[in-house]
A and B are shown apart, each in its own frame.
Chain A
């Protein structure tokens, strides 16, 4: 007889991780400026460790958002005295976040209704 192992926590697919990156980063930065390592920590905390990001891949995403002028980067000295590159949301980013949230709400509500029917 085969033993049934306890169902593991669902692993979020790579596509979904990639799709959620922009709204998640914009949401985190909407609370205030932050830097790469702190952003990764917050993502881990918010998702209860379920969102497994390759940490280095955060930077291309942040730079792409900066290239799209949704966020902007600036240098500052952190609490440990090290010079860090911080990111903050631009007004365009705030508008993009509203639009992204609306899209995710539509998907969420469609999924919830589909689950009920």
Chain B
């Protein structure tokens, strides 16, 4: 093979740079991933030139053989992050910014009720918003699940003129930034996390659901809430004990929603109450499906330890930052 002249080498370099730019546009790849693909492209172009192809033909054939850069980037990103493709900076930061109004409102509520109110929700929302801004892969499915399940009660409340339609626009807008628009953008563990949020929401809504005799219902919801939260944390670290927490949460939720159904049907519930009960039941079903997916995707062996360390290390940082912010607040 004749040595490439300086202009020829410049054409090769430019073509490789274009290919790598398309790769980085399709997903977040590390420098070593890009180096590996660049080395492959250079070897392929060299070999094709050895086979008497012109520079242009060798470049065209090499990029054709390598395949669609966006598809490769998407697959590589999915492998690197267990919960699915990492969001681009723009989408992650835009959706994190959209979470700020909720945090501010929760903060105002917490201050008004002297720290009572929505303190836990505020902390969780702040953790997720920070994790989303830091583009940690588990934050995206959590926000997808949270907004997805939140949209139903917001829509019902908007229809009954109890809530400003702007909230519905806010939820749809946030969801638009983080929704998995392309196939396989979220992996199975990602879907497991998103669906498990249904359990959290059902537990929160059931704990304030009006009922003729709410004592037992609220105790069960109070048991379900930390169980569902534990299930989500366990799924983030990909440990199989998460499934036990999800089962406990779902069983408590099924028992509480069953009592709600019995009491409201006996009292002759209106269509609005029935719609809310159906929503809660569907959210519990979603959490159960999330539990099944968690069972199929989490691991028990020592492999979980490495994964846990990788996932918990950034989580711990986020918790420390959030705690500091809370102290300042």
A binding-site residues for B, Cβ under 8 Å: 35-37, 40, 54-57, 59-60, 63-64, 67, 69, 75, 82-85
Complex Cα–Cα for A84 and B83 (A): 28
B80 near A55: Cβ-Cβ < 8 Å: no
Q: Is B217 an interface residue (CB 8 A)?
A: no
Say whether, besides A55-B66, A59-B33, A37 and B39 are in contact (CB < 8 Å): yes
Complex Cα–Cα for A63 and B72 (A): 12
**B60 CB, nearest partner CB in chain A, Å:** 14
Give the residue of A37, A60, A63, A67 whose beta carbon is less than 8 angstroms from that of B40.
A37
Return the chain A residue nearest B69 by Cβ: A56
Q: Can you sample 9 A-B contacts with CB below 8 Å?
A: A37-B40, A55-B67, A56-B69, A57-B67, A57-B75, A59-B76, A60-B75, A60-B79, A67-B79
**A21 CB, nearest partner CB in chain B, Å:** 12
Give the residue of B32, B65, B80, B303 whose beta carbon is less than 8 angstroms from that of A85.
B32
Q: Is B286 an interface residue (CB 8 A)?
A: no
B303 near A56: Cβ-Cβ < 8 Å: no
B43: chain A residues within 8 A (beta carbon): 37
Say whether, besides A57-B75, A60-B76, A63-B80, A85 and B66 are in contact (CB < 8 Å): no
Q: Is B35 an interface residue (CB 8 A)?
A: yes
Q: Specify which of B35, B43, B44 lies most central, judged by the most chain A CB atoms within 10 Å of its CB.
A: B43
B binding-site residues for A, Cβ under 8 Å: 32-33, 35-37, 39-40, 42-44, 65-69, 71-72, 75-76, 78-80, 303
B39 near A57: Cβ-Cβ < 8 Å: no
| In the A-B complex, the 5 residue pairs with the closest CB atoms | A54-B67, A60-B75, A56-B72, A56-B66, A56-B67
Complex Cα–Cα for A54 and B44 (A): 13
B76 near A63: Cβ-Cβ < 8 Å: yes
A37 near B80: Cβ-Cβ < 8 Å: no
Return the chain A residue nearest B72 by Cβ: A56
B71: chain A residues within 8 A (beta carbon): 54, 56-57
Return the chain A residue nearest B67 by Cβ: A54
Say whether, besides A54-B66, A56-B67, A63-B79, A36 and B72 are in contact (CB < 8 Å): no
Complex Cα–Cα for A29 and B120 (A): 51
Complex Cα–Cα for A55 and B47 (A): 14
Complex Cα–Cα for A20 and B147 (A): 40
Complex Cα–Cα for A61 and B33 (A): 13
Complex Cα–Cα for A56 and B64 (A): 10
Complex Cα–Cα for A84 and B43 (A): 11
B36 near A59: Cβ-Cβ < 8 Å: yes
Complex Cα–Cα for A101 and B94 (A): 49
Say whether, besides A36-B40, A37-B43, A57 and B72 are in contact (CB < 8 Å): yes
**A65 CB, nearest partner CB in chain B, Å:** 10
A84: chain B residues within 8 A (beta carbon): 36, 39
Complex Cα–Cα for A56 and B142 (A): 31
Given contacts A59-B72, A75-B32, 14 further A-B contacts (CB under 8 A): A35-B39, A37-B40, A37-B43, A37-B44, A54-B67, A54-B71, A55-B44, A55-B67, A56-B71, A60-B75, A60-B76, A64-B79, A83-B39, A85-B36
